[in-house]
Amino acid sequence: MAELDERARLGALMGGFAVTQMLYVAARLNLADHLARGPLTYEQLAAECGARPDPLRRVVSALAGTGVFEIGEDGRVGNTLMSALLRSGAPDSLRPLALLYGEEHYHAMAELLSAVTRGGTAFEHAYRKSHYSYLASNADAARAYHDAVNVETARSAEAAVRAYDFSGAEMVVDVGGREGHLIRAVLRANRGLKGMLVESSGFATKAQSRLRAEGLDDRCDVQVADIFEAVPSAGDIYMLGGVLHALDDERALCVLRACRKAMAPQAKLLIVDPQPIPLADVIGLAVSGGRVRTIPAQTALLTEAGLKLMRVLATGAGNSVLETCSS
């Protein structure tokens, strides 16, 4: 019996490819949005989303078996707590991630064997270019990727600000902070602080717009710089939010060393990165070439960059804040 249970579990894991694509279909067709006002028949739902009723029924029925959507006694389809997370406007929406995983990420994973046996990333084997080069030449893919990352970044930023006490600081520098989710969360929660965001020109422009919209632009300077080369020497707290896990060790070391060089003797560097989950690490191997590091791996990298780990704070949102200083 135990052997049969293990066989069933392994078989379910093998079927994960189908679940990913079913969730992608649900997200792409906005099924959860169409059901937001209440349950619909399959025919009504199909008419709303532009699908054929029978194949739609088969996909939705399979998802309902996992807790995504529910089928009422009258045969109508309704949202569940899980499917509601696929609504486009929902707080903490996972729709952007479902779209991301169902398109380029999905195709890249088909080349995972090549990455393991030949090196490089699975994405490079699948698309003949790096993930970031692909995004630079494909506006739709870039939009989908940044939408997904922005949702997760905003969520982790709010959690990090709740976990760390910024009192006593005067200037906080957000290094590689994309559109400024982390620095904006810090400034909203700490009205006496000044901030600086250091990013590439494209993200810097978006960050300036976001800061202006929230009335934070008078408290936060935005500077364009190559964070792999140099970081402004202006802060008593530096932050790397969601930066290092997207980088291999060599490039991560460049960023850490640039921060270390900019830091005054009493300055702190905060690293906000995902807690080490093996599946997330494999996604990094497949797509970006980055890695989700354990605390010992982070410590070794910090030591090589001339930094010392002081403490680790769990945020409760799947991330940790690593407080570091000059060694």
Model confidence pLDDT, tens digit, residues 59-72: 999 999 999 999 99
DSSP conformational letter for 170: S
For the cut 80, the answer to whether the pLDDT of residue 4 exceeds it is no
Q: What is the pLDDT of residues 197-213, one digit of tens each?
A: 999 888 899 999 999 99
Torsion angle defined by CA atoms of residues 137, 138, 144 and 150, in that order, rounded to the nearest 10 degrees: 20
* Contact indicator for 250, 212 with CB cutoff of 8 Å: no
User: β-strands 194-199, 77-78: how paired?
Assistant: unpaired
What pLDDT is stored for residue 277 in this prediction?
86
Percent pLDDT > 70 in the chain is 99
For the cut 60, the answer to whether the pLDDT of residue 132 exceeds it is yes
Percent pLDDT > 90 in the chain is 83
For the cut 70, the answer to whether the pLDDT of residue 3 exceeds it is no
Average pLDDT of the segment spanning 142-150: 89
DSSP conformation letters of 192-215: T-EEEEEE-HHHHHHHHHHHHHTT
Mean per-residue pLDDT over the chain, rounded = 93
- The pTM assigned to this predicted structure is 0.86
CATH topology of domain 2-95: Arc Repressor Mutant, subunit A (1.10.10)
Active-site annotation, residues? 245
Please work out, in degrees rounded to the nearest 5, the angle formed at the alpha carbon of residue 266 by the alpha carbons of 260 and 270. 55
Boundaries of every domain in the chain:
2-95, 108-137, 159-326
Greatest C-alpha distance within the chain: 68
CATH of domain 159-326: 3.40.50.150
For the cut 80, the answer to whether the pLDDT of residue 1 exceeds it is no
Closest CA to 103 of 59, 148, 137, 136: 148
What pLDDT is stored for residue 70 in this prediction?
97
Q: What is the pLDDT of residues 265-324, one digit of tens each?
A: 999 999 999 888 889 899 999 999 999 999 999 999 999 999 999 999 999 888 899 999
Type of residue numbered 217: D
CA distances (Å), origin 128, targets 115, 123, 131, 286: 12, 8, 9, 13
